[in-house]
Amino acid sequence: MELVQLDAENGQSTTEDGVSNAVKDKCAISWIEKDFAGLSAQDDDVIKEINITHVVKEGAEKADASHFELLKVLGQGSFGKVFLVRKVTPPDTNQLYAMKVLRKATLKVRDRVRTKMERDILADVNHPFVVKLHYAFQTEGKLYLILDFLRGGDLFTRLSKEVMFTEEDVKFYLAELALGPHTVLCTDFGLCKEAIDHEKKAYSFCGTVEYMAPEVVNRQGHSHSADWWSFGVLMFEMITGSLPFQGKDRKETMGLILKARLGMPQFLSAEAQSLLRALFKRNPVNRLGSGPDGAEEIKRHSFFCNIDWNKLFRREINPPFKPAVARPDDTFYFDSEFTSRTPKDSPGVPPSASAHQLFRGFSFVATAMLEEEGREDPVQAPPHPVVQLHGKNILFSDGYVLMEDIGMGAYSVCKRCVHKATNTEYAVKVIDKTMTDPTEEIEILLRYGQHPNVITLKDVYDNGKQVYLVTELMRGGELLDRILKQKFFSEREASAVLYTITKTVEYLHAQGVVHRDLKPSNILYVDESGNPESLRICDFGFAKQLRADNGLLMTPCYTANFVAPEVLKRQGYDEGCDIWSLGVLLYTMLAGFTPFANGPEDTPEEILNRIGNGHFTLTGGNWDAVSEMAKSLVSKMLHVDPHKRLTSKQVLKHPWIIQREKLPNSQLQHQDANLVKGAMAATYSALKSSQPTPELKPIESSILAQRRVKKLPSTSL
């Protein structure tokens, strides 16, 4: 049954696929359809033409390959490649797309039909949660589909990195799938069938064998019910990290699907086990979701009892993972096996003289593109500055000149660099990949580097051994250096400085990020104004994002009910460490010396003993002139028990912060600058020496990751 709804803007009725009936009646094109009912090997050349409709403005110019600049390879399959491309012609100049290129010669007749079906389904479906087809065209040897570029990557890549998800993660993703095209962003319709209802069956044998339903494997004919079996396979793999039925080869896998008993992991909840058993029914008639209510049967299952379907539909529930992408052409979440390749679209040999007839009516231009064509002066979004910086350079040395060292870390060195094309100065952090994994730092900077008080990541280069993180240059130097060099620094100024830094830390903590290395040398001024708003928190090399017990990134607002208590406890401990570091900074700004070290000559044992006992003085020297509010705040930020320290939100609400105008404005004295900096360095050196780092094997060594790597296609186009 076709559902019809009224378009609120123009009053036209639209079908469930979102295409206006009024528009559908305007034009028609020929297309190729294969009749799969009772299909046999001899039927491969049986093709019939029928008419379908799509949206094309009369006289519009069709796109071709010369209209797109190849940027990167995103993926590769048996029949072709997917490229990241940039449009170089109006009306959508500089717009990024994903370009799917298929070789006609490698497509059997069945595959040609499926490709045409994919193009027709994508052209018909106009929905914000289904990947949008913008252009379709062909040459003698190839077919081209120009689609939305989705920077976050796919669920498979996420699963490959994280091994498996928690039940709550799985519940979220499955619930989106169960809602249908309204919320899940589907991207590959190459194996889809149009117009299958509960009374009709398809007989095609296609798809990944491990996900096939028994009725697909034995070719008895299948309906929508087969999708719910695949739904169960996806659930099983996400929740356990392995497939339910997998043999040593394709034939054995098919045999297991038809006959083997399901090995149900006992660590799964009773509700999860119940849903899996209901989905893995070999008789499709008995399978959950196969009845007249369809997806509603799935949604009513107890596994989804705490899902608010209305909120999920309206996208009011925060997802368990948000990809860290900041640049328009970011391919961070695509496999480097593909993205590292040189993008090249070689000429394709036509399959036959009738190639264009086989794919007659393939060309397509989206309505939105045609509407843009009619505008006299189309508005174009300027390219992102990162894209302009990087251009098409591959090596760091192609775009930048390295200058002098400006900082040194345990596994990295920071240098000044100059961008060749613009002569603009930047800083670059060169990280030794053999000593540390910079992935977490890059993710955090990509996701949160747009905050005004977090250092901005401009670009990333990876030569295999080192990673180059190009950032804005901190011309104002370190916070402590500037304070100690100032002739006049008051308690009121200290309050303004702490407010800016704590406000930034509070933002990071709210996103589930802990810095864990907030020493003064990692807090710098972007310019020489000395304005607290020009402060930047830098060096996220030790920072962590809140993760569930399986390593999946979470945010506190989502995980309150879903993360193990010990994980949240650890997160609270790390947040407490950040507050303690801010307490040390505040103490030093007010007292003129550090709280736990007298100088660089203090031993780590002496420093750690003072820290552990919570021994620091709030009398004598500057403290005699410092307000009681300041002493109260320092004591609460330096509390020995991290869980009893103030949170960043509580610090921001403290009277010493909100009543700044009442604070003394008299000059605070300080020790010799070198002595203070030496004592501060000794403090953090002692802390690091007391925290042994556990050695973990890389995720690539896991059996699951190795299996998935083997499955990656490596055919050429």
Annotated ligand binding at 407? The verdict is yes
Amino acid at the residue 38 = G
Annotated ligand binding at 73? The verdict is no
From the list 475, 474, 446, the residue with the least C-alpha distance to 459 is: 446
Annotated ligand binding at 255? The verdict is no
Annotated ligand binding at 409? The verdict is yes
Say how many residues make up the chain.
717
Q: What share of the chain is helix, strand, coil (3-state, %, to 5)?
A: 40, 15, 45
Q: What angle do CA 156, 162, 166 make, to 5 degrees?
A: 95
C-beta separation of 179 from 310 below 8 A: no
- CA–CA dist 10, 72 (Å, integer): 40
Look at residue 462 and give its three-state secondary structure: strand
Residue ranges of E strands in 264-321? none
Residue 8 token pair? 């609120």
| DSSP category for residue 551 | -
Q: Which residue has the tokens 């350079």?
A: 393
Annotated ligand binding at 411? The verdict is yes
Annotated ligand binding at 489? The verdict is no
- CB burial class (10 A; 0-12, 13-18, 19+) of residue 145? buried
What DSSP string runs through 14-70? EETTS-BHHHHTT--EEEEE---TT--GGGGG--EEEEE-----TTPPPP-GGGEEE
Annotated ligand binding at 477? The verdict is no
157 catalytic, yes or no? Answer: no
Annotated ligand binding at 413? The verdict is yes
Annotated ligand binding at 78? The verdict is yes
The one catalytic residue in 142, 171, 458, 519 is 519
The one catalytic residue in 329, 345, 539, 602 is 539
Annotated ligand binding at 429? The verdict is yes
Give, rounded to a whole angstrom, the gap between the first and last alpha carbons of the chain: 41
The one catalytic residue in 522, 588, 594, 622 is 522
522 catalytic, yes or no? Answer: yes
From the list 211, 184, 186, 176, the residue with the least C-alpha distance to 304 is: 176
Annotated ligand binding at 442? The verdict is no
The one catalytic residue in 517, 574, 578, 602 is 517
| DSSP category for residue 426 | E
- CA–CA dist 535, 516 (Å, integer): 18
From the list 115, 168, 133, the residue with the least C-alpha distance to 358 is: 115
C-beta separation of 298 from 418 below 8 A: no
The one catalytic residue in 183, 559, 588, 622 is 559
C-beta separation of 570 from 490 below 8 A: no
C-beta separation of 482 from 476 below 8 A: yes
Annotated ligand binding at 74? The verdict is yes
- CA–CA dist 539, 527 (Å, integer): 17
Annotated ligand binding at 468? The verdict is no
> Phi first, then psi: what are they for 193, rounded to 5°?
-120, 140
Annotated ligand binding at 410? The verdict is yes
C-beta separation of 68 from 52 below 8 A: no
517 catalytic, yes or no? Answer: yes
559 catalytic, yes or no? Answer: yes
Q: Which residues are annotated as a binding site for ATP?
A: 74-82, 100, 406-414, 429
Q: Which residues are annotated as a binding site?
A: 74-82, 100, 406-414, 429
Catalytic residue annotation:
517, 519, 522, 539, 559
